[in-house]
């Protein structure tokens, strides 16, 4: 198994621990994230790792930031990616078995190094169980496709932008707040 990994500057210490642990387990990884304490924005790292996994260059991904949340939110914007934030072994196992999550995210400010290793191991050792879960995971893809084709929202935001021009009212007030008596 090859794993794409990465962290921002906040996640770096935990990522280093987990990278060493992967090496100990004999799992090959490539690090796309922060190299030192210089600030790195988590979306920049999550985007690269998620795309590497999506493109099939790596089977799985591991992302670490302060909470794991920003990394997961960003990675889940990449089509076909299912990233799960896990800070306990049971969730990590279910993320694979039920959700077929190709990416796990963790927060260096949430979990200690030894617990994080246990969580990572549970996730690495679990495989997607298929069956009913395959139908449900396919539905995640259905939602993703439907949303990517949902244009009215885009045109609505264009309208809002246009209405922000000087001389235009940006938001129509609710009926109760509209002027009366005219």
Residues that bind ligand RB5 (CB under 6 A): 8, 10-11, 42, 65-67, 69-70, 107
Measured from the CB atom, the residue of 42 and 123 that comes closer to ligand RB5 is 42
Helix or strand run (H / E) with residue 164:
none
Q: Decide whether 13 or 118 has the Cβ nearer to ligand RB5.
A: 13
Determine the Cα–Cα distance for residues 35 and 33; give it in Å rounded to an integer: 6
- 65 catalytic? Reply is yes
Nearest to 66 by CA among 114, 131, 10: 10
Nearer to ligand RB5, 44 or 93 (CB): 44
Which of the following is catalytic: 65, 72, 86, 104? 65
Minimal distance in Å, beta carbon 69 to ligand RB5?
4
CB of 21 to ligand RB5, least distance (A): 20
- Looking at the Cβ atoms of 39 and 174, the one nearer to ligand RB5 is 39
Find the shortest distance in angstroms from Cβ 177 to ligand RB5: 37
What is the three-class DSSP state of 129? coil
Strands (E), the chain: 2-7, 28-31, 60-65, 83-85, 103-107
Residue 15: CB partners within 8 Å, gap ≥ 6? 5, 6, 7, 31, 33, 34, 62, 64, 108
> CB 66 → ligand RB5: shortest distance, Å?
3
Quick one: which of 16, 129, 2, 7 has its CA closest to 55?
A: 2
Catalytic residue list: 65
């Amino acid at each position: 198994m090859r794993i794409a990994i990465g962290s921002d500057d906040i996640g770096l210490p935990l990522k280093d621990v987990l990278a060493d642990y992967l090496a100990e387990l004999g799992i090959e990884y490539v690090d796309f994230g922060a190299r030192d304490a210089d600030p790195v924005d988590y979306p920049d790292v999550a985007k690269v790792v998620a795309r590497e996994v999506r493109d099939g260059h790596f089977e799985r991904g591991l992302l670490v930031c302060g909470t794991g949340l920003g990394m997961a939110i960003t990675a889940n914007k990449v089509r076909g990616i299912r990233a799960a934030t896990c800070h306990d072994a049971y969730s990590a196992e279910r993320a694979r078995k039920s959700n077929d999550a190709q990416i796990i995210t963790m927060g260096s400010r949430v979990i200690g190094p030894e617990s994080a290793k246990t969580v990572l191991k549970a996730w690495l050792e679990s495989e997607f169980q298929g069956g009913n879960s395959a139908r449900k995971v396919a539905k995640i893809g259905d939602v993703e496709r439907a949303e990517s084709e949902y244009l009215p929202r885009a045109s609505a935001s264009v309208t809002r932008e246009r209405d922000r021009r000087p001389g235009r009212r940006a938001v129509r007030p609710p009926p109760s707040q509209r002027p009366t008596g005219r």
